[in-house]
Structure 1
Amino acid sequence: MINMKHYLKLIISAGLLGVAMTSCLEETFPTDGATSGQLESADKSAFNAAIASYMNHMSLYGDGGDASDAGFSSFIIWRDAMTADFAIVNTGYDYFSYYNQQLYIGNDGISATFWQRYYYLIQKCNNLLSISDLDPDGFDALYVGNALSYRAMAYMDLARMFEFKRTGVAYLDEEAANRGIYGLTVPIVTENTTERESRDNPRAPFYKMYRFIMDDLNLAEACLSDAHAVSAKTDASIGVVYGLKARLWLDMGSRFERYVDDLNTMISHEADEDLNDYDKIGITTANECFARAAEYARKAINEGYSPLSESQWFDPSSGFNTPNNSWLWANIISTNDIAATTGEWQSFVSFQCVEANWGIAVYQDEINYAHGWMIDARLFDKIDEGDWRKTTWIDPEDAGASNAFITKYSRGTNLSYNEWRNYRSYVGIKYHPANGERNTSTIGNAVSIPLMRIEEMFLIEAEATAHTSGVGAGKQLLESFMNTYRMSAGESYICKAADMEAFTDELFKQKRVEFWGEGIVYWDYRRLELPIERGYPGSNHARQYRFNSYPEHVAPWTNFYIPDRERDLNKGVILNPDPSQAIPLWEGGN
């Protein structure tokens, strides 16, 4: 029989790091008021459902202390807003401006929101794992596999956001060195972590975090080995596990190729006694990591998913708001989630869809709203003319032209010409309210949002293969993907890259185009240590957002700050330097 006091202790400790930053976010645990007998017979399906429900929850205004807070769906927007890929001119209703301006990104509600919500998600996973049989052949295998997949995703995201990486800003990098935080990720909290341990729980070094995440994914893979299809794409399938492994192996390959000392550190700790509970990584070279990234990406592809067709991409009713053959994993926002919000405008649809008449992206006039996200002008100019994805954004040569609207854009939007002509060049029309409903927010806000699409696996396979088998092999895979799935009839794509650097740039360009607005390429900017450049002649970014980070370093504002409150409750944590206003504004002219 489960000991009630012990179980509640697990719940409290599992959530402690999240609670450290959630004094304003009340949480009702599933076991409140339960007897030990009731807990023993608890419906594990309810605990499993609580994981997806938390992911899909659209938060009350003020939950995270910021108007941008629409739950996890806002994180997708935040990640793209930190890059060069999301441009905006009318900033009056830009609730995602902090990282664009490098303002208030230290100990404030934004970094706290990321910290608290990921650890609350981890808590939900730990709640289920603590009452489940972890045997992959046992009755609870599907529940365990799902919880482990979500937990692995959460820790992978946290580790990649909060590990401080070199910025090229001398005082920041020196402060990080003086604090001894290079190579440190975030504290690990499992279903077995006690409250006492949580009060002195240091940030895990990268080699421990890699093993912890891989261990979760290995068990998830065993638990979900027969789960080739799931009833709802909020649940993880074996394809999702393969996709998460592909992401992790690619991250490790890039790190160990660039930093051989990190590879040697990883190898030197393989036999550490305190890591015996985790499976060993078992590699000695960066290329082995790339090989496994390609292997798992191909395994995900072989699960039967296929890239979006042109008609699916541009469907104004279901495009990018409804699960389909391309999606492996998704947030599915229900009408119940919507009913929990206080304002119809505070939603993914409001922030992303120029068609939603209740949203802030819709055009009213040059001052009010008109907050349509634009693609970066330089990126748009690099899109191949034969690539049908290019009409996802308004070409400057087409802006306001009725003939262009009829022949090129009308198929992909619910806007009339008189509405469409008000939008600026480069504005994206990728996203749509549910069922194309433009006026009733309780219907239109109930969209699904992809967490993983199979197209990512094709691009991971191509990048990883270029490392293991040569640039030519990678080019062949990239060309196959583009010519099979992304070029208009009669058009042909040829990758002209002659070396690994040029190929990586070209593949990254295609990734930026493919996943614009999906929060994916933030991870690649950090993984590849690429500069984020918003200031240049002809830039379409707001003048106050034109910051350029330094080559061969990460942008300072992409290094997340661990909230002070965490240090107050967990003495083992060392904080990152505050990255606010670390880069000067670009002063060049248009």
Structure 2
Amino acid sequence: MASCDLDTTPTNYLPSEDAFKTTARCESVLNGTWSSLFTNGSTYASIGLGSIMMNDDFAGSDVVRTTSYGYSSSYSLTNGYGRGEINDMAWDLFYDAINNCNNIIAYIDQAEGSEEDKNIIKGQALATRGYVYMLLATHYSFGVGNEKYANNACVPIYTEPTDLNMALTGKPASTVKDVFQRSLTDLGDAYSLIPDNYNRGINATDQYRIDKTVVKGLLARTNLYAGEWQAAYNYADEAMTAKGKYLMSEEEFKSGFNDATNEEWMWGFSSTLEDNLAAYNFNFKDCTTEGSYYSCFNVDPFFKEKFEDNDYRKDLFRWGANAGYGEWTMLNYKFKFADINNGLGDIILMRVAEMFLIKAEAATHLPGKEGEAQSLLKELRQARLKAGNTAAEVTATGDELREEIWLERRKELWGEGFSLTDLIRNQKSLERKNWSHYVECILNPDGSNSNIPILDENGELTYADDKPESYKKERCTLLQGHIASRTVFPDGSEFEPNSKYYLFRIPEQEELQNANLYTEHPMLPLYN
């Protein structure tokens, strides 16, 4: 812990054809690609996909960053548009993975091995590439639902191994529509290649492997983002059915979101004693376990109030001193190390509840299915109520119903990496209110202020804003949620939809090296 710099082995080289001589070797490249996706980075605050997911939540409405190392630029929305560390890391991470998949896809048909193995590995490589192109499309451009930008430049598409000449010249940026179509085509091909009976096994360390259920889930997610409602509905239904529509119990939901073998999880990445770097992300997300270093992934107090009192998810947000810096804040108890002594914890990538929400949202756009959307929303809400309670009937319709579903996504998927994508695709604005209050504190035996707030039997604070300044100074402490400087954009303007600050910006190095980048579609005017 002497430095915040992280040394990693570069993976952006072109492997020799011998690396793809057998299906076993092709599978090794694919396994290495997924390891790289979760463990490569430039600093301890930018380790792989887990850090990108945290960036997207820090940039949203419902996470408050407390004073600590890491993610300050994500929280202030200066990272993506300003091309900060997460942005640059993501670009390299994504295109390294794409190039590795391109090599597998190019050589697998000639590899030594069974046709079944070839189909599985090729399907997994296509699904990985499709997933990464979806991530690029959702981060580097506004959604396809925004007609003003749908046909403008997004990112380059590569479907073949990159040789030295291509690396030096580069490809033009394709439109966001084309990038989404590339993703959907790859995922559709993977759906055809990976057999229904392929079983990745029950070990936690194998849950990153893409089986047919994961492909269905990715097709549901990507079609939702692309506005293909019928396809999103169909694939979400298939994915839910494959998992038996299982939703976590209260005990499972409160167990720390760190176990890839959880029955509701459809996809996750597990760390090991030999390689626990991916789990380092928990040092930011785990705010309550003693020994967690930074503990800065905390909660907007206003967000907690969006939950019903009998909703057990509300119990996961409580006032306290964070484990890292001892700063009093609204803590999250959702994410906890599975094993703090060995730095272990699994990263969530997909689960059944998301499929409920995708199917419900898609249903609101389909004729005659609004009642089904209401039923799905009620069913999910019922699963999140404490025993003995019954969820109210959902009566909202049209846009009001969609708003309820979007709010339920915020509540159910909090901290799982969806905040920024949902803001962009739904053309919504950030919602952050300045929150700060003086609260009564426990006094030390000598009568001095302990700076430890007094909590009542329900864990609520005792406010003292109306007390004299001398009283507040001696007996109170100031607690904060979002501070004023984080309730506006970096330039001081008010939050609004479709802002450049929501987007990742193509790195400057790519613009300098890729002479063809904007030859077919001009750079977005908002970047000028």
Question: What is the TM-score of this pair, normalised by structure 1?
Answer: 0.70
Contact preservation (8 Å) 1:392, 1:430: yes
Does the aligned pair in 2 maintain the 1:87–1:540 contact within 8 Å? yes
Amino acid at match of 1:204: S
Q: 2:258 aligns with which of 320, 330, 350?
A: 320
Aligned residue among 208, 213, 216 for 2:186:
216
Which amino acid counterpart does residue 184 of structure 2 have in structure 1? M
Counterparts of 1:36-115 in structure 2, within 5 Å, are 40-41=21-22, 43-57=25-39, 59=40, 63-64=41-42, 66-88=43-65, 90-91=66-67, 93-103=68-78, 105-115=81-91
Tell me, yes or no, if structure 1 residue 353 matches structure 2 residue 286: yes
1:512–1:521 contact (8 Å) kept in structure 2: yes
Q: Partner residue of 1:188? A: 157
Give the match for residue 458 of structure 1: 356
Report deviation, 1:498.
3.0
The 1:567–1:475 alpha-carbon spacing in structure 2 relative to 1, beyond 3 Å, is same
What amino acid is the match of 2:102? N
1:532 aligns with 2:513: no
The 3-state SS of whatever aligns with 2:331 is coil
1:147-166 counterparts in 2 under 5 A? 147-164=125-142
Alignment of 1:268-283 (within 5 A): none
Deviations, residues 21-57 of structure 1 (Å, cap 9, x unaligned): xxx965257876x6x6675347222122212221232
**Alignment partner, residue 479 of structure 1:** 378
Structure 2: distance between partners of 1:188 and 1:31: 17
Equivalent residue, structure 1, for 2:337: 433
In structure 1, the partner of 2:502 is 558
Letter in 2 for 1:233: Q
Residue in structure 2 matching 1:522, options 420, 439, 456: 420
In structure 1, the partner of 2:488 is: 547
What's the secondary structure of 2:155's corresponding residue? coil
- Paired residue for 2:463? none
8 A contact 2:434–2:482 mirrored in 1 = no
The answer for the alignment partner of 1:233 in structure 2 is 207
Q: Are the structure 2 counterparts of residues 353 and 551 from structure 1 closer, same or farther at C-alpha, using a change threshold of 3 Å?
A: closer
- Where in structure 2 are the equivalents of 1:296-311 lying within 5 Å? 296-305=235-244, 306-311=246-251
Question: Residues of 2 paired with 1:503 and 1:552: CA distance?
Answer: 22
Q: Provide the residue aligned with 1:492 in structure 2.
A: 390
- SS of 1:452's partner is strand
Shift of 1:133: 1.8
Give the residue type in structure 1 aligned to 2:265.
Answer: W
Counterpart for residue 515 of structure 2: 571
Give the match for residue 405 of structure 1: none
Q: CA deviation at 1:103?
A: 3.5
Please state how far the C-alpha of 1:393 moved relative to its aligned partner: 0.8
Cα 1:118–1:141 shift into 2, 3 Å: same
1:474 and 1:358, CA in 2 relative to 1: closer, same or farther beyond 3 A? same
Distance 1:98 1:373, change over 3 A: same
Q: What displacement does 1:71 show?
A: 2.0
Unmatched runs of 5 consecutive residues or more in structure 1: 1-23, 254-288, 362-370, 401-414, 581-590
Shift of 1:161: 0.6
Q: Distance in 1 between matches of 2:259 and 2:524?
A: 36
Residue pairs, 1:341-380, within 5 angstroms: 347-361=280-294, 371-380=295-304
Structure 2, unaligned runs of 5 or more: 1-6, 437-479
Q: What is the match of residue 286 of structure 1?
A: none
Q: What CA RMSD, in Å, does the superposition of the two structures yield over aligned residues?
A: 3.3
For the 8 Å contact 2:260–2:268, the answer to whether it is kept is: no
1:118 is aligned, of 94, 104, 109, to: 94
Moved more, 469-478 or 129-138: 129-138
TM-score (norm 2): 0.78
Count of residues in Structure 1 that have an aligned counterpart in Structure 2: 459
Change (3 A) 1:324 1:30: farther
The secondary structure found in structure 1 opposite 2:431 is coil
Higher helix share: 1
Shift of 1:348: 0.8
Are residues 76 and 38 of structure 1, via their aligned partners in 2, closer, same or farther at CA, if it must alter by over 3 Å?
Answer: closer
Partner letter of residue 21 of structure 2? E
Q: Distance in 1 between matches of 2:13 and 2:517?
A: 29
Letter in 2 for 1:84: S
Partners of 2:255 and 2:170 lie apart in 1 by: 51
| Cα deviation, residue 220, structure 1 | 0.2
CA distance, structure 2, for counterparts of residue 511 and residue 133 of structure 1: 41
Q: Offset at 1:499?
A: 3.1
User: CA 1:165/1:527 → structure 2, altered by over 3 Å: closer, same or farther?
Assistant: closer
Q: Distance between the aligned counterparts of 2:143 and 2:223, measured in 1?
A: 19
